């Protein structure tokens, strides 16, 4: 929300709640919650590149996230032409979008993906396990290309994915729930 | 084609904000914002710096009620603030940051009247055109819009129709107090938040409408009031300004209809409802 009237702290995306209004300010009880967000947003900070990566989330972060940060930090440090064929450095927007995407789609029992750079300066997530081949190229927030193939039943799809992540989440569910002994 | 939209002669509206979020403009730094201000300075002579807003996207199909917010802060390049350009009265302002452009109208004094959506939208469109011209002239980049947002904030002050925070049901239709026994007393206060998915004619998800009602007290007289906030956030059908305007119009329609739908007919009488046909 882009309102400039409410004097609450920022907690709803576009919200502007840090403005102390003049004649029209009001006191909103601190226990108020907005749009389904839990009031206990947790904040985690990781050293990253020459700065820090800050994550605000509902509840504590999953244990695998530290591994994701390390993998993304490694990619972020790649210089231009890291592949000797003129590849671009990995864009920060792709890195941030990847971190958010993983937090949105990964379950605790999802195998951790390979996190690899592309010569387009984007991040590619790869799962080649349990009979599933899932590749997700994260170009930016809401700019995702994914392909999926299940060798067990022949299911496959390839799509540009926007705000609706249903197909991707279902594929992650299928991968996560499959017996790890499957090939 | 004409359509009927709910309208009120005396709405409790205190703020309207139209916002577009876009792919970050890495070359939009302090000097470039200064260049932008010179263009707007005659109308908006005052400036303020504020913390930037985090990007937000409406997503669907994820097993969470809200996405995690991830930020990267680099030591060698401090984040560009969100800069406000304000008119002398403080009733209208522009907010600019690397990935956001916002126009706000707000009620500052009792005499301020809402200039109506069309006026606010025309100002937003004109200012966005100017913003894009400056981006092109200064070779900063182009706006690639990814989310649009319409915000309506209503201050519904206690008086006619309701007196205390316990009477939320007198104001909104989506809350009622009905108990299966008599153990609970009247609530001290009540608030609510509701989300609706906005869909296109084919049923595809476009965005969300967020409605919240929160108890508050008005300054300086401490009268109870409800802050009823409606936020429509949706993805534009393209990344050009015309697509942004279309998305804002859709969001505004959703908000106006929702406001009439979630508030009670008794309050509508006090706000003098008069639905109008619009082309």
Query: d(Cα A68, Cα A115) in Å, to the nearest integer?
Result: 8
Contact assessment for residue B106 and residue B89, using Cβ atoms and an 8 Å cutoff: no
Query: d(Cα B70, Cα A127) in Å, to the nearest integer?
Result: 23
Domain count, chain A: 1
A24 domain residue, yes or no: no
A146 domain residue, yes or no: yes
pLDDT in tens, chain A (183 residues): 677 654 433 333 333 433 333 333 333 333 333 333 444 678 899 999 989 999 998 888 999 999 999 999 999 999 999 999 999 999 999 999 999 999 999 999 999 999 999 999 999 999 999 999 999 999 998 899 999 999 999 999 999 998 999 999 999 999 999 876 555
DSSP for A81-121, please give it.
TTTSS-PPPPPHHHHHHHHHHHHHH--TTSPPPEEEE-TTS
Task: List Cβ neighbours of B29 (8 Å cut-off, separation of 6 or more).
Answer: B80
pTM over 0.90: no
Domain extent at residue A135: 90-177
A94 domain residue, yes or no: yes
Task: List Cβ neighbours of B34 (8 Å cut-off, separation of 6 or more).
Answer: none
A104 domain residue, yes or no: yes
A11 domain residue, yes or no: no
Query: d(Cα B208, Cα B58) in Å, to the nearest integer?
Result: 7
Assign 3-class secondary structure to B88-127.
Answer: CCCCEEEEEECCEEEEEEECCCCCCCCCCHHHHHHHHHHH
Q: Is the peptide bond before B220 cis (omega within 30 degrees of 0)?
A: yes
Query: d(Cα B122, Cα A8) in Å, to the nearest integer?
Result: 29
Query: d(Cα B170, Cα B3) in Å, to the nearest integer?
Result: 29
Task: List Cβ neighbours of A69 (8 Å cut-off, separation of 6 or more).
Answer: A46, A48, A53, A99
Question: Which chain B residues in 220-249 lie under 8 Å from chain A, judged by CB atoms?
Answer: 220, 225, 227, 229, 231, 233, 235
Contact B235 A142 (CB under 8 A): yes
In this prediction the ipTM stands at 0.79
Look at phi and psi of residue B93 and say left if phi exceeds 0, alpha if psi is from -120 to 50, else beta: beta
A131 domain residue, yes or no: yes
**What single-letter DSSP state applies at residue B148?**
E
Distance from CA of A87 to the nearest CA of B (A): 20
The full set of domain ranges for chain B reads 2-278
DSSP for A17-77, please give it.
-----STT-B---TT---TT--S-EEEEEEEETTEEEEEEEESSPPTTHHHHHHHHHHHHT
A142 to chain B: which residues are within 8 Å by CB?
57, 59, 146, 235
Q: In Å, how far are A8, A9, A105, B52, B151 from A15, measured between CA atoms?
A: 9, 8, 25, 10, 10
Query: Is B71 an 8 Å CB contact of chain A?
Result: yes
B223 to chain A: which residues are within 8 Å by CB?
none
Task: Kindly report, residue by residue over B102-159, the tens digit of the pLDDT.
Answer: 999 999 888 888 999 999 999 999 999 999 999 999 999 999 999 999 999 999 999 9
Task: Kindly report, residue by residue over A147-168, the tens digit of the pLDDT.
Answer: 999 999 999 999 999 899 999 9
B216 to chain A: which residues are within 8 Å by CB?
26-29
A20 domain residue, yes or no: no
Of the candidates A101, A169, A112, which has an alpha carbon nearest to the alpha carbon of residue A137? A101
Contact assessment for residue B75 and residue A51, using Cβ atoms and an 8 Å cutoff: yes
* Cα angle, residue A41 at apex, residues B55 and A99 outer, rounded to 5°: 50
State the best of A9, A19, A26 to mutate against chain B, taking most chain B CBs within 10 Å: A26
């Amino acid at each position: 929300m882009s309102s400039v009237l409410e004097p609450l702290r920022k907690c709803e995306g576009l919200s502007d709640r840090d403005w102390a209004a003049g004649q029209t300010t009001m006191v909103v009880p601190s226990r108020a919650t907005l749009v389904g967000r839990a009031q206990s947003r947790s904040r985690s900070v990781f050293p990253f590149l020459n700065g820090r990566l800050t994550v605000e989330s509902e509840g504590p972060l999953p244990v695998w996230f530290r591994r994701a940060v390390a993998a993304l930090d490694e990619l972020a440090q790649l210089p231009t032409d890291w592949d000797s064929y003129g590849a671009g450095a990995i864009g920060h927007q792709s890195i941030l979008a990847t971190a958010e995407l993983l937090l949105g789609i990964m379950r605790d029992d999802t195998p951790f993906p390979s996190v690899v750079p592309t010569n387009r300066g984007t991040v590619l997530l790869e799962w080649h396990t349990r009979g599933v081949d899932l590749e997700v190229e994260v170009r930016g927030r809401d700019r995702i290309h994914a392909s999926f193939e299940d060798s067990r039943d022949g299911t496959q799809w390839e799509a540009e994915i926007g705000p609706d992540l249903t197909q991707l989440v279902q594929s992650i569910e299928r991968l996560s729930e499959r017996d790890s002994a499957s090939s | 084609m004409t359509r009927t939209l709910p309208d009120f002669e005396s709405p409790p509206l205190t703020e309207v904000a139209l916002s577009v979020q876009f792919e970050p403009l890495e070359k939009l730094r302090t000097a470039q914002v200064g260049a932008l201000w010179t263009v707007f300075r005659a109308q908006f002579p005052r400036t303020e710096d504020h913390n930037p807003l985090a990007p937000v996207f409406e997503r669907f199909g994820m097993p969470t009620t809200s996405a995690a917010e991830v930020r990267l802060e680099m030591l060698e390049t401090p984040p560009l603030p969100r800069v406000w350009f304000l008119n002398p009265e403080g009733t209208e302002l522009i907010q600019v940051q690397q990935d956001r452009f916002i126009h706000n109208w707000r009620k500052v004094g009792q005499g301020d009247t809402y200039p109506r959506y069309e006026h606010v939208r025309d100002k937003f469109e004109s200012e966005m055109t100017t913003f894009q011209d400056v981006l092109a002239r200064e070779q900063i980049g182009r706006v690639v819009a990814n989310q649009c947002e319409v915000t309506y904030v209503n201050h519904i002050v206690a008086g006619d129709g309701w007196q205390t925070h316990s009477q939320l049901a007198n104001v909104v239709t989506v809350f009622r107090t009905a108990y299966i026994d008599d153990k609970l007393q009247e609530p001290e206060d009540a608030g609510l938040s509701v989300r609706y998915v906005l869909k296109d004619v084919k049923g595809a998800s476009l965005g969300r409408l967020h409605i919240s009602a929160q108890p508050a007290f008005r300054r300086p007289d401490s009268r109870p009031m409800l802050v009823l906030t409606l936020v429509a956030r949706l993805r534009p059908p393209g990344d050009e300004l015309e697509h942004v305007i279309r998305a804002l119009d859709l969001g505004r329609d959703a908000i106006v209809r929702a406001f009439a739908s979630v508030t009670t007919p008794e309050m509508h009488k006090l706000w003098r409802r008069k639905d109008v046909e619009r082309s």
